[in-house]
Amino acid sequence: MSKLALRGIAKRYGDVAAVSGVDLELREGEFVSLLGPSGCGKTTTLRMIAGFISPSAGTIEMNGQMLSSPSGALPPEKRQMSMIFQSYAVWPNMTVAQNVAFGLELRKLPREEVRRRTAEMLEVVHMGHLAARYPAELSGGQQQRVALARAIVIKPQVLLLDEPLSNLDAKVRLQLRSEIKALQSRLGFAVLHVTHDREEAMTMADRIVVMDQGRIAQVGSPEDVYHRPNSPFVATFMGADNTIALKIGEGPSGAKVEAGPHHEATPLPKATAAGPVLAYFRDDVARIERPEHRADGEIALQGKVMLRSYPGGHYRYAIAVGDREYMVRDARLFEVGADESAQGTRRGSHPGRCFPPRSAAW
């Protein structure tokens, strides 16, 4: 049986459909990320699961028990869930220990058990030495650790995370990602996590649910949605920002790509469907080479280096090819203004994905 099951969930605000027909199951001990741009419906979905808003259609069940339907909903405090928000949401008039103990005291547990479980959880999140401090005396990362301890100490069935790391600096964000994932693996609770950060979802989730315009666009492992996107939207959202309009035609040795005036045609023995396609690829599956260094089976685009940046570990180049611009990642230094050939794909890498173009014209 699924830990959590969403069946045909929808939410409308007048004529606006915030969420439309979402079906999703969360398994015991699983970490699932809802990933998508702002306005795609991921936070609305999370708030329906938490019980803060009621669905316009569909049902939400946990362990076979009905939590929400259009006819009624169980209140949030009875759902055996905890939620951590983007804002730290810790009570400023309580110490660290009092914040963490609050949920246990609401459940009227014995005082000694409250004290013991609070102390244990503070040690788990490395906050035991700050138990007597108030939130105003803590950093943002420390406050989010308090919120995490408060959410987990009550032993929820499902932990809901609403972009809890987005307000933190990069170093603390990376550290807390690891700590949350380690805690989840150690304690075995299920997690539903909302984020617009692709890297955060990739590094934390067992499965990623990509959402677009209130609907699920794709569900799969991080490797699936990254290397095998099922649509142009998922491809571009997962970082395949470069596109080439191609036409697959018949050649003497099989299918070949006809790629226009700035591209060299190349045999594609594995290609079977003739006709126009759009090929999507990321900047890390291409390289910059002189035209004479092009290998068989690669598509060469003749262009000029227009911009160069150094994000660390490699250079990122903008290559102008005709009236289009392509982004390429390369460890070598090339001068801006140089005529180069941007080639792909790297051997051993996943090539891009091809989809029928939005228009048949080419």
Last-in-domain residue among 187, 206, 236: 236
The verdict on residue 187 lying in a domain is yes
Tell me: do 200 and 332 sit in the same domain. no
3-state helix, strand, coil in the chain (%, to 5): 25, 35, 35
Q: Is residue 361 in a domain?
A: no
Q: Select from 172, 203, 236 the last residue of a domain.
A: 236
Same structural domain, 127 and 61: yes
Q: Which residue shows structure tokens 């594995």?
A: 270
Contact yes or no for 35/209 (Cβ under 8 A): yes
Same domain? For 249 and 231 the reply is no
CATH of residue 15? 3.40.50.300
Q: Considering the chain, what is the average pLDDT of its residues?
A: 87
Residue with tokens 């138990």: 131
Of 156-165, 200-209, 257-266, the range with the lowest mean pLDDT is: 257-266
Count of C-beta atoms within a 10 Å radius of residue 47:
20
Residue 276: pLDDT over 90: no
Residues 154 and 172 in one domain: yes
Dihedral sign for Cα atoms in the order 103, 106, 111, 113: negative
Distance (Å, whole) CA 184 – CA 73: 27
Rg (CA), the chain: 25
**127 & 262 share domain:** no
My answer on whether 217 and 266 are in the same domain is no
Q: Name which of 254, 270, 265, 261 is nearest 298 in CA terms.
A: 265
Residue 190 pLDDT grade (very low, low, confident, very high; cuts 50, 70, 90): very high
For residue 356, the model assigns a pLDDT of: 64
Q: Which of 236, 266, 298 is the last residue of a domain?
A: 236
142 belongs to a structural domain = yes
Show the domain range for 314.
240-355
pLDDT digits (tens, 9 = 90+) for 95-146: 999 999 999 999 999 999 999 999 999 999 999 999 999 999 999 999 999 9
Number of domains present in the structure of the chain = 2
DSSP bridge partners of 256? 249, 267
One domain, residues 162 and 274: no
Residue 251 confidence (pLDDT) above 60 = no
360 in a structural domain: no
State percent of the chain over pLDDT 90.
67
Same domain, 199 and 267: no
- Tell me: pLDDT of 43 over 70: yes
Q: What is the pLDDT of residue 79?
A: 94
C-alpha distance across the termini of the chain, in Å: 49
Dist CA 157 CA 296 (whole Å): 54
In a domain, 87, yes or no: yes
Please tell me whether residues 156 and 293 are part of one structural domain: no
Q: Is the pLDDT of residue 246 over 90?
A: no
Domain check: are 218 and 296 in the same one? no
Taking residues 284-290, report their average pLDDT: 84
| CA distances (Å), origin 157, targets 148, 256, 320 | 15, 54, 52
Give residue 13's Cα distance to chain centre: 26
347 — pLDDT class (breaks 50, 70, 90): very low
Element containing residue 320 per DSSP (H, E) = strand 315-321
Return the CATH number at 345. Answer: 2.40.50.140
Kindly state the DSSP code that residue 129 receives in the 8-state scheme. G
* Residue 163 pLDDT exceeds 90: yes
Residue at 362 is within a domain? no
In a domain, 19, yes or no: yes
CB neighbour list of residue 204: distance below 8 Å, 6 or more residues apart: 31, 33, 177, 180, 181, 193
Same domain, 204 and 296: no
Say yes or no: 210 and 260 in one domain: no
SS3 at position 346: coil
